[in-house]
Amino acid sequence: MKKVHNILHICETLDSATKYSDRCCDELVAAGAIDKLLTLIRSASRSIPDQQVSKHALSTLRHLARYPQMADELIDTKGSIQTIFWELLRNKEEAYFIASDVLKKICNSHKGVETVRKLPALVKRLQALVEELTRKANIEKRNAKGQNGKEKSERRLKEANELLKLITSR
């Protein structure tokens, strides 16, 4: 537990530092942090502390992906797209939106879209997710369920639709 706490603290610090500093982002990429962050995300379990670590690691990748040259580095890192897609597909909370944001930033470049298109199984899973979320949103519209659940489902559907359009429209 103590190790997870230390890793969480480091990931929170990286997340904060990369949020405001492009120089920090440059140095992280130069030091090979992308691969380390992806490994950390892949190794995270479903426990709450591990999910917090994963969320901050994803957020750090989101900050790196803001810059085109670093987004290219992320795209070129083996297994990066699959790892980020996996986080999108397995999360329902905040990490879902962070993973979606990273993928949208990657798909803002032609290289990113082409790389994602080379993974048809993931695109197909995204299409299935959009269909599932559409069904869920329609059911929630008919039922007088809690407004909060409905808003989350609609927001997740909107994110998935935007990402799917980026991938398929170019």
Give per-residue pLDDT as tens, 140-163. Answer: 777 765 566 677 788 899 999 999
pTM of the predicted protein model: 0.90
Tell me what pLDDT residue 45 has.
Answer: 87
Residue 26, Cβ density class (10 Å: 0-12 exposed, 13-18 middle, ≥19 buried): middle
Nearest Cα to 123, choosing from 113, 134, 111, 110? Answer: 113
- By C-alpha distance, which of 131, 19, 39 is closest to 82? 39
Nearest-angstrom CA–CA distance, 139 and 49: 33
pLDDT of residue 169: 83
Would the pLDDT of 76 be above 70? yes
Quote the CA–CA distance of 167 and 105 in Å, as a whole number: 11
pLDDT beyond 70 at 75: yes
Q: Are the CB atoms for 40 and 57 separated by under 8 Å?
A: yes
pLDDT at residue 125 above 60? yes
Residue 64 CA to residue 43 CA, distance in Å, equals 20
pLDDT above 70: percentage of residues in the chain: 94
What's the pLDDT band for 170 if we cut at 50, 70, 90?
low
Give 137 or 81, the one with higher predicted confidence.
Answer: 81
Residue 31 has pLDDT above 60, yes or no: yes
Q: Which pLDDT value is given to residue 153?
A: 81
Q: Give the pLDDT of residue 53.
A: 92
User: What does pLDDT average to over the chain?
Assistant: 90
What's the whole-number mean pLDDT along residues 9-31? 90
Rounded to whole angstroms, how far apart are CA atoms 104 and 164? 9
The single residue listed with the structure tokens 């120089």 is: 23
Check residue 144 and give its pLDDT: 61
